[in-house]
Amino acid sequence: MRASLGGRMVAFHLPPPAAWGTGPLHSFGESCYGSQMTRSLLEDAFAHHVWATTRLIDRCLALSPEQLETGVPGTYGTIIETMRHLVAGDSDYLSIMTGDRAHLVEADHMDLPGLRVAMENHGVLWSELLAKDIDPDAMVHEVDEDDGYERDAAIGIRLAQALHHGTDHRSQICTALTTLGVDPPGIDVWNFGVQAGRIIEIVPKDRPTWVIR
């Protein structure tokens, strides 16, 4: 793949998990408007994307080789195939948007621990890219060297697609887990926010635990 961004190469610093949520919690009316931003609006979204994927990998580590070959009709493939596709696709998005082929991951035969390491590395790369002064309307050109397919797409659209791709395939893997009688981990954004210290919840005693807003 080849990529360019307004004539510049762009690259992505995701703070380590221990640092997530160390910043102050803000009152909506007090600081959402009129103050200088110090972080990308998409930082939490991509931090969740990486966290949810690695958390799901951790749940799958307990599966047998036979269980990893479980698939559900209408989804991408088996659990291991889908996870490999998710991580490889993520590396492809990074490679195109940064113009750096070194970010490509050949995941076809990777095991779960290897996929986890790759996804953790992606977290750093996504964060470094988000820290740049990126124009969401800048067009990024890509060429598939296998068949010559070309596409121009705004970087804002490409970022949205990267998030959608991860969410879609994580959901498919969770569905496959349920067919095995395995409870998927809680990986929605609220779960991430609580663990990262960016959400404070006060739950009424009589509120059902399954209620999620």
Across 89-102, average pLDDT: 93
Once rounded to an integer, what is the mean pLDDT over residues 172-187? Answer: 98
Please give the mean pLDDT across all residues of the chain: 84
CATH superfamily, domain 39-185, is dinb family like domain (1.20.120.450)
pLDDT digits (tens, 9 = 90+) for 120-175: 999 999 999 999 999 999 999 999 888 889 999 999 999 999 999 999 999 999 99
In the structure encoding, which two tokens stand for residue 142, read together? 């890509």
In this predicted structure, which of 51-60, 99-108, 169-178 has the lowest mean pLDDT? Answer: 99-108
Give the model's pLDDT for residue 22.
41
